[in-house]
Structure 1
């Protein structure tokens, strides 16, 4: 099942730089692993914001929640999830 996930990160302004750097490094490693597994096939940065729009491929809502809640930046995120289905006018639907 595909999901569009809009993630906005709000790190505390008083978070020590070394702590923020550690969280970001762990986040990147986890995100790359999910991409290699095919669970996170698309990620786009929103220009000018600490935000991304991503497509996740999870078996169900529970798996998506598990994937998202394990993100190291999860405690500092506002996340909006939109489940997706194929549009009948897409090329893939015509096959």
Structure 2
């Protein structure tokens, strides 16, 4: 299943800087692992904002939910998610399933 996910990060300004840096480093490592596994297939920054647009390719909505909940910065995110499916006019087979 493909998902379009917009993540907006809102870290409180009074949060300990060392803790925030640790969260960011852990988040980066997890996101890169998920990219290498083929589950987080695309990630783009939104210019001038602490936001990204990502495409995930996972086996189920439950797996997508679990991935988002596992992100270290999840408690500080506003997330908009849209399930995607193949368009009838597409000449490409973009809806590829991740191996379980």
Length-normalised TM-score, structure 2:
0.90
The residue that corresponds to 1:75 in the other structure is 75
2:14 aligned counterpart, secondary structure: coil
The residue that corresponds to 1:36 in the other structure is 36
- 2:57 equivalent to 1:57: yes
The residue that corresponds to 2:7 in the other structure is 7
The RMSD of aligned alpha carbons is: 0.8
Task: Compute the displacement of 1:77 (Å).
Answer: 0.3
Q: How far apart, CA to CA, are the structure 2 residues paired with 1:52 and 1:77?
A: 11
Post-superposition Cα deviations, 1:38-57, rounded to whole Å, max 9, x if no partner, equal 00000000000000000001
2:53 aligned counterpart, secondary structure: strand
Task: Compute the displacement of 1:88 (Å).
Answer: 1.7
Q: How far apart, CA to CA, are the structure 1 residues paired with 2:56 and 2:22?
A: 24
- 2:87 equivalent to 1:92: no
Gaps of 5+ in 1: none
Task: Compute the displacement of 1:17 (Å).
Answer: 1.1
Aligned residues: 93
More helix by share: 1
